[in-house]
Structure 1
Amino acid sequence: MTYKNNHLITRDIFDKVILPVYAPAQFIPVKGKGSRVWDQDGEEYIDFAGGIAVNALGHCHPNLVKALHEQSEKLWHVSNVFTNEPALQLAKKLIDHTFADRVFFANSGAEANEAALKLARHYAIEKYSPYKTKIISFTHSFHGRTFFTVSVGGQAKYSDGFGPKPADIVHVPFNDLDAVKAIIDDHTCAVILEPVQGEGGLTCATPEFLTGVRALCDEFNALLIFDEVQCGMGRTGTLFTYEQYGVTPDILTSAKALGGGFPISAMLTTEAVSSVMHPGVHGTTYGGNPLACAVGCAAFDTINSDEVLAGIYAKRALFIAELEKINQQFDLFSQYKGKGLLLGAELNAKYQGKARDFLNTATQFKVMILNAGTSVLRFTPSLVISDQEIKEGMARFASAVKKVISAY
């Protein structure tokens, strides 16, 4: 595929018109198909980033394109003064395949987590006490960029500098059950965690930790919230990651891959927890948008299939085999992290803090990757990426690694 560079739109315009909170690559993608992307000059890239685990079916998957096109000619938006068929269809799919009885739709992971945290506090206040408001979260966690969610997230670099933070939020080390035991009490309304920490370095919760936290929540009448915004929707090999642990949360949040690239999120919970809510307590104008939900239905049906889910572990194994070839040549990685195609390669002591160097250089060799913190390279490709594309992309990445290492 070739494209003519539109000289009216260039990368330097970004620095003049966009709020300076991002530092995007120097090329501008203009077309994507499957696991390949083309820029303004027709240069082709292999996409191992997947829009940060969003494009779970790659770019322009035909099932999603068809759903969007068909819905675009029917109904775009009605707000939540009215309901719509795609929203009800998607809600039913989520309920039929999870622990949940009720769904709340929003537009981003942050909004889903905001709703989850508000629900947890409201539930505790209504059912127990106006003082049962403590939220326990974990260091290196990430739950979104609203002021509430960024304060609950366990990375102060994202929440500092904006004035007084929401109160009654406590952070303890991840996978440290004793730390949770030391802080949880009758004033705790919720414990929130990612079964696999996404932005925090792709650390997986241990089975003992999740089982123990579930038991503590039950003991102290606190709700357990699983943030599966990044690790859910097939990313780790099952529809949702909690299934692999045999631990069921009270509330679960989903976004990113839920729409396969179209903005949508969902908060899932039980009938008992949802019973404290009534019209007007929470809401959103765009949540449950017919366009988003129609695409979400198509994404859900495609991802939640034996064909897609059964191939994820094999693709992870191939990624690691290719990474290990690079490691044997350059002595770069200390361990592989995450689950399924939420894959991290941690840099060894010599290259700690240098993850961004590898990411930036990779784009020069036409492969798109991510970092998770400063010392973990993150790969979140399409769940249906071909083996050939994995091998080809890894060959390009090997060239990038060689260039970075030669500079040290």
Structure 2
Amino acid sequence: NKRMGSIEQRSNEEECWVPLKYHGSKSDFSARYLQRMLVEENSPIHFTMNPYDYVSSLCPGAGSNNTKSKGPSRRFLLSMPLEERFKKLLCEGEPVQRFSTLMHFAPNDTVEDVIGVLHKNGLLVQGLWAPRSPLLFNNDKMKCLARDYVLLSFSKNSVVKFQHLSVSPKLRDHIKCFLNIFAVERPDFKDWKFRQQTDLSFIKEHPNIVIKQEQVWAAAEKQITDVINKLGKSGSTLRNDAGKSAMVNKHLKAINSSNGPSGALTGNKNLSNESREALPKALQKLFQIHKVCSLPLIKQGLRDLAVSQSTLPKADARMTVLAAEIVDSSFVDTQEFAEVISQVATNIHGFYVSKSSEDPQHGPLRKVVTDLLLAGGPDAKLKKADVVEAARHVLKREISNAEYSKVMSDICESKGSAWILKKPK
């Protein structure tokens, strides 16, 4: 027996076996372990979202699947004219929809045609499209007002805190109803969060429409808030005031007409005084991002700058106004626009480089280098000896290797043993 025991022990050691003792599920040992696996509930999480809304918030666009489909069939929609098709899709589909999803219902139409229809019949909120209120509630001005107010709030921020409104209980109920449609209440934070994630791809790819829609909301905001405030006063009714709840529709027509803001969107060549003052500052900011620019890059860069500035709470609003006036206008083709650029940048054979440097002490050497590039022609190649000699002649001093490397790498790129002007990216 001892011999068998020693053989078994050696076998266990060689095969790395671990001896175990079985404990039944009803044994005291198992009961103690089960008890340790349980946690006493002492701080429950206040979770107000249902499972579907929670999954939808994690996976935007999940609401379009078959488990919760809304709206008419695709085959039926494709049989209709484009505008009627999108009116029906907007009104009978999800409360807000992504542009990429909407494009599936226009396989034979251009992006420009679809955007034109959406701009006419829809409102842009966080990069998503919602139908205009009069399309849904043409005869219910109270609902139009409440819906416009909620959409206006979420067009500014995806998270909104709604303070107590001194309005009639009926209007307050309508506002609460639309909040539940478009957002999720977060009692712990005392706010409402927009249900869908911002469609950043649309905002980035279509800055022109983003700016136009921002103008729509800016023009409508004062009228919406004025009506809300007026209804909070005793004796106010909707008979005279709530007709303004369709102001988004009115301003959409105004923005597309020849009498739109500043006439800029219809090809006006003149800038407002505010934009004229803001343009050089916007260009300076642009050249901090792009060291060397072509004219098309300047135009696109100003559009992108307007979009990025509009998402910052403390950004200079004049930047957005400026871009709104130059986008799709003929001012960018005028000599005056070129003259404004020349105030802040040097034209080096069709490419623009900022006259000023982020490091002011390098400004004089920067000018020496740009002058050499201008004198050398479109294919100019600079060598260190040429730059050092020119700096010695113009600046009356010897330049250090550090400042030479900083200035040259800022606007030039090396090619073999020489430097050439950087290409715009």
Name the TM-score, length of structure 2 as normaliser. 0.25
Q: Which has the larger radius of gyration?
A: 2
> Counting strand residues as a fraction of each chain, which structure ranks higher?
1
Relative to total residues, which structure has the larger helix share, 1 or 2?
A: 2
Q: TM (normalized to structure 1)?
A: 0.26
Greater relative CO, 1 or 2 (CA 8 Å, sep 6+):
1
